[in-house]
Amino acid sequence: MLSYFKARSRLFSNSAFSYACIMTICNAVVVGIAYISISWHLLSLRNSIEVIMLFMFTWYICGFIITTYRLVMLIGSLLATLCSFKIIPKRNVKNTKISFLRNWQEVISFLNQNKTLYWCYLAQIGMTCLYMIAPVFISPYAKNILKASSLEFGLIEVTFSVGFIVGNVLLPYMIEKISPKQTLVFSMTISALMYLLLGLNESIFFASIYYLVAGIFISAWVIIVTIAQKNTPITLQGKIQGICYGFSGLVVMFIYLIFFAINYIHYLVINGSTSWQC
């Protein structure tokens, strides 16, 4: 295992890779600060899942205006932007200017010839949606179901982040020792089980444990992206990835709208007893 990590550490000799890692870390810090500091504050103003959904639509603007950590957010954003200019690819890719419809035709034609990748990108969309939807419910769940304090809510979120970091180290090693397919199936099964247990749980301690394990195995999302990109020509990687993220965003917004409607039609327990009912 030590030799595995030594081999992977050599990747940092590539400056583009190192700057990409720094950019990702800065982005994660900005998002984390915005979510943890603002979601709890918004719930104190209106104890309803609706405010968290609205915040997720405009998280950066809300976060920058309301949070006392706006300077950290600004610095993190600037560092991420500066690092993006340092990411210079070593490979030369021939750029061709074609129409938007032609891009779609290329993507569909490629996926029709490689149907296995359909499932890979579909799994990526599903994991991305789960990664974006779950945080909407965590803060009202912690406040109204677990009766947690703001500190305890922050610790629950930290366990997920720690799990995600551990998963990004552990799962690639598992793939090399077992197989990508078995690792992904196992990871997605455990993630689903942890979220199910989280929904049935009313203990802060066990919520932290379940969320930690969920964070470890939901990091399989990164592996799915890597496998999909590895088996896609470099000229199509950005096109297909952009479509996947765009479609994921549409699905997430659609699910948010569904819960908006449900919340108005039928009172959600996760809103707590003090929530305004319509």
User: Residue 1 in contact with residue 173, Cβ under 8 Å?
Assistant: yes
Q: What CA–CA distance (Å, rounded) separates 31 from 115?
A: 35
User: Length of the chain, please?
Assistant: 278
CATH 1.20.1250 residue ranges of the chain are 100-278
- The residue that leads in pLDDT, 203 or 55, is 203
Q: What CA–CA distance (Å, rounded) separates 101 from 122?
A: 21
At the topology level, CATH places domain 100-278 in: Growth Hormone; Chain: A; (1.20.1250)
**Is residue 194 packed enough to be buried (19+ CB in 10 Å), middle (13-18) or exposed (0-12)?**
buried
CB atoms within 10 A of CB 228: 20
The per-residue pLDDT for range 210-248, each reduced to its tens digit, is: 999 998 888 888 788 888 888 888 888 888 888 888 888
Per-residue confidence (pLDDT) for residue 274, from 0 to 100: 46
DSSP 269: G
With a pLDDT cut of 90, the percent of the chain lying above it is: 5
Per-residue confidence (pLDDT) for residue 144, from 0 to 100: 81
Confidence of residue 208 (pLDDT cuts 50, 70, 90): very high
Which among 205, 210, 215, 209 has a CA at the least distance from the CA of 146? 205
Burial 136-160 (b: 16+ CB within 10 A, else e): bbbbbbbbbbbebebebbebbbbbb
State pTM to two decimals.
0.71
CB atoms within 10 A of CB 74: 12
Average pLDDT, the chain: 76
User: Residue 232 in contact with residue 116, Cβ under 8 Å?
Assistant: no
Per-residue confidence (pLDDT) for residue 156, from 0 to 100: 86
User: Residue 271 in contact with residue 47, Cβ under 8 Å?
Assistant: yes
Q: What CA–CA distance (Å, rounded) separates 103 from 248?
A: 19
Which among 230, 217, 105 has a CA at the least distance from the CA of 168? 217
Per-residue confidence (pLDDT) for residue 253, from 0 to 100: 82
Helix, strand, coil: what percent of the chain each, to 5? 85, 0, 15
User: Residue 169 in contact with residue 4, Cβ under 8 Å?
Assistant: no
The per-residue pLDDT for range 123-168, each reduced to its tens digit, is: 888 888 877 787 778 878 888 888 888 788 888 888 888 888 888 8
Helix axes 150-177, 15-45, angle to 10 degrees: 150
Confidence of residue 169 (pLDDT cuts 50, 70, 90): confident
CB atoms within 10 A of CB 76: 22
Residue 100 reports pLDDT greater than 80: no
- The set of residues, in sequence order, having a beta carbon less than 8 Å from that of 16 and lying 6+ positions away, is 86, 87, 88, 89, 90
CB atoms within 10 A of CB 46: 15
